[in-house]
Amino acid sequence: MKDDSEPLLSVTAQGIDVQPRRTGRKSIDLVIATCAIFMSILSLMIAYNQARMMRQQVAATSWPLLQFVSGNTDEQTGKLTIVMEVRNAGVGPAIVKHFSIYYRNREYTNGFDLLVDCCQYRLKTLDPSVRQPGAPLTSPVEGTIIRAGESTTFFQIPLVPQNQSSWRLLDEARFKLKFDACYCSVLGECWSSDLAGVDPKPVKSCPSPRARRSG
């Protein structure tokens, strides 16, 4: 006599599969099958939501936020020095793909060219081996990685008798500067920013230097 409590067995090319026991009543079997499908779909949804939440948590802990910061006094020496930097106020490193300065609707890729145009600064000599008093120091921002809580100083110039006029003009002009930056997180999420607020615009990717030049 057949025992209905025993599970059904089927032999396949992959081995022996255990089939769920059927009651012999189509309505009940249909309900059981529907519940099994529902539980499978529910399990997939739960797994998807858990994976999405984990990704969001990881993204939240690796979110960079770049901001422009400037001052006219060296915090360490107390001397009058204009310092311009990009600070990462976020919680993850920022990979800077693009960085431009705008002054009076003109684009600059470094602070030295800006100083020449805005503030009538002139070099006394073109010899790079001669260090002039009060000469500016510049550093690139594009192509660098700024860690969370750290800054990159891209321009600084101390006040000395030889550059007083240019220094004071720049001290006023720094409040009128605009920026166009694009940076990414270590997860590949990217943002376009003016470095002035806390809501950078999400973008799919940052444009390459070649694409910007051709555009």
The pair of three-digit structure tokens given for residue 196, joined into one six-digit string: 């002035």
pLDDT attached to residue 208: 75
Nearest-CA neighbor of 68 among 107, 106, 115, 102? 102
Q: How far is CA 6 from the centre of its chain?
A: 60
Distance CA 84, CA 195 (A): 12
pLDDT of residue 78: 85
Q: Which residue has the tokens 């939240």?
A: 60
Q: Where are the domains of the chain?
A: 8-60, 66-214
CA-to-CA dists, residue 112 to 5, 10, 77, 130, angstroms: 86, 80, 23, 17
Q: What is the pLDDT along the chain (215 residues), one digit of tens a residue?
A: 455 555 555 555 565 555 555 555 667 767 777 777 877 787 777 776 766 666 655 555 689 999 999 999 987 888 999 999 999 999 999 999 999 999 999 999 888 899 999 998 987 765 666 678 888 999 999 999 999 999 999 999 999 999 999 999 999 999 999 999 999 999 999 999 999 988 999 999 998 765 555 55
3-class SS of residue 117: helix
Q: Does the predicted TM-score (pTM) go above 0.75?
A: no
